[in-house]
Amino acid sequence: MFRAAEAAFGLALLLATIWASLALFYRLPVSPAIRGAAAGSLALLGVVAVISMIWRPRLVVILPFVLCFTGIVVWWGSIEPPAAANWAGDVARLVTGTVDSDILTLTNVRNFTWKSDGSFVEKWEPRAYDLKKLKSLDLFMSYWAGPEMAHMILSFGFDGDQYLAWSIEVRRTAGGKFSPLGDLFKSNPLVIIAADERDVVRVRSNIRGEDVQLFRMRAPPANAARLLLQYVSDANALAEHPRFYNSLTTNCTTTAAKMMRAVGATFPFDWRLIVNGYLPEFAYDRNALDKKLPFEELKAAAHIAPRAKSADASEDFSKAIREGVPSPLD
């Protein structure tokens, strides 16, 4: 039993060393060279502390590490996400919304025109939507790192082929980049984007060349409306109180899952919520997709790239990319 306790404590020391060293490396507000030296020094101290588990006196080495680690935890808790910065243009504004009767009015809906080199013509719009005309909910998966990892977008469909897409992203500063490891360590705030599909979907399928797949969901309009209003509520809260993006706990998939739970959807934790490239299989297993077809046939029909590139910036982009995609509404 004592040996097991020692092993558990040694493992805890090792994990604490890794986390604290990376926290210093990514967030210590000094030059990169000093950050690297501080992280390396702490890592060395932690490794020596772990090794000291097999000899005595242990306290001489472990105590300094524990004191350093405690100081880092206190400092870490004091780091708050910035409310203002030189943000990248595509995440520069925050969407907010109000509801009056059944009319949802949004500020800062993104409707950029993207060029082939990745630049864009900026356009933010106020838009209004009649919740009584909400009829569908669709899931876009944009695969950027093989079959395991994708960016998730939910799009709400209204009468007249009008769609409103929501994307939860990293709020980068100008020139900044998304880093799955760095964004575990309070590197960037979270941003919720409401956008036209010709913007937020087309930039991934046509400009970045990602494998974008579309799955049409089995969601009664009343449930879709509750989820949409939860997006609006979270966007309003984010505008008042910024939060950090986290690659594991607060990302495009986990945040949307929390929203769906908030509006009454019940589902267990599943590893596919983390390795989110397999999220469509999870949705299929939970009867959230059309089950008239086997999943493999549904997935084969989900690839929209050829239709998206053919439609390009056409006004009929949203209608064109849905041609041939099975829907529970059919």
Q: What is the pLDDT of residues 288-320, one digit of tens each?
A: 888 889 999 999 999 999 999 999 989 999 999
Query: What percentage of the chain has pLDDT greater than the value 90?
Result: 67
pLDDT surpassing 80 at residue 255: no
Q: How far apart are CA 306 and CA 308, in angstroms?
A: 6
The helix/strand/coil state of 106 is strand
Q: Which two tokens stand for residue 87?
A: 């943000």
Neighbours of 96 (CB within 10 A): 18
Provide mean pLDDT across the span 157-176: 94
Residue 259 near residue 156 (C-beta atoms within 8 A): no
CA–CA distance, 109 with 218 (Å, rounded to integer): 26
Query: What number of CA atoms fall less than 13 Å from residue 197's CA on the CB side?
Result: 30
Residue 54: is its pLDDT beyond 70?
Answer: no
Sort strands 211-216 and 134-145 into parallel, antiparallel or unpaired: antiparallel
Q: Is the pTM of this model over 0.75?
A: yes
Of 47-61, 101-115, 167-181, where does mean pLDDT reach its minimum?
A: 47-61
pLDDT digits (tens, 9 = 90+) for 110-149: 999 999 999 999 999 999 999 999 999 999 999 988 888 8
Burial label, 287 (beta-carbon count in 10 A; 0-12, 13-18, 19+): exposed
Report H helices in 52-159: 59-77
Residues 176/85, Cβ–Cβ less than 8 Å: no
Is-cis flag, bond preceding 57, omega within 30?
yes
User: 172: which DSSP letter?
Assistant: P
With a cut of 80, say whether residue 56 has pLDDT above it: no
